[in-house]
Amino acid sequence: MVTQLPMYLDTSAIRALGRGLGDWSAGNASSTSMITLVELLNGIDGEEGEFQRRRASILALTRSATAVVWERPQAKILRAFDHLRIYGTEDGGILSLRALVKLLEQTPDLDAFVRARGEADLDAAFDYFARYDKEFGIGLVQEARAGFIRIREAFRAQPTSQRTILTQLHSFWGCESR
């Protein structure tokens, strides 16, 4: 029997489906990542119209059957390798992101969101995720390369066939293989 994998919905898909996401996701296995929520939060405090559009997308997502993977991509990549399983499933940043999403669900407009965010001491977390959204692609590649350096060290003690796999990984990521 073939198991159907959930369809991954990126930010543009979430926005395009809009309020219809709930109905659509009820009949389709789907998932998205915390990056979608970060991207929707980034820019939400610009003006009221943009706040309402982004809020509607976040509300549609949180009320739908679409699963959210609450793990940073960097941690997920590094956890894929037995030798590097050092990350928990939820760090403080993710807890703050969840708190921001919950706060957004409870506030009807931009002014209320900004005020509640300050009262909940989440301004720093909001600013952090705005920077994370802009920098995560670059950081992801840098962290992946650093992870592959650690993998290389772990694989040096392994049989030759596993070293071949490491060489292929390095080639894919553009890292030098030693």
Q: CA geometry: angle at 90 spanning 84 and 92, to 5°?
A: 110
pLDDT at 76 over 50: yes
Write down the pTM of the prediction.
0.68
Residue 115 amino acid letter: R
40 contacts 17 by C-beta, under 8 angstroms: no
pLDDT at 74 over 70: no
Question: Residue range 87-100: average pLDDT?
Answer: 73
Alpha-helical regions (H) of the chain: 11-17, 21-26, 34-41, 48-62, 73-79, 92-106, 110-119, 123-155, 160-173
Question: Residue range 116-130: average pLDDT?
Answer: 92
Question: Residue range 50-63: average pLDDT?
Answer: 94
Measure Cα distances from 121 to 12, 54, 98, 162 in Å: 30, 21, 14, 48
Lowest mean pLDDT of 15-29, 40-54, 104-118, 130-144, name the range.
Answer: 130-144
Q: What is the dihedral of CA 138, 141, 144, 148, to 10 degrees?
A: -140
Sequence spans of domains, the chain: 7-173
pLDDT at 35 over 70: yes
And the tokens for 143? 């962290």
169 contacts 145 by C-beta, under 8 angstroms: no
pLDDT at 70 over 70: yes
Tokens 């009807």 map to which residue?
108
3-state secondary structure of 7: strand
pLDDT at 107: 96
pLDDT at 72: 79
Q: What are phi and psi of 129, to 5 degrees?
A: -70, -25
Spatial separation of the C-alpha atoms in residues 62 and 67, rounded to whole Å: 9
Q: What is the dihedral of CA 44, 48, 53, 56, to 10 degrees?
A: 90
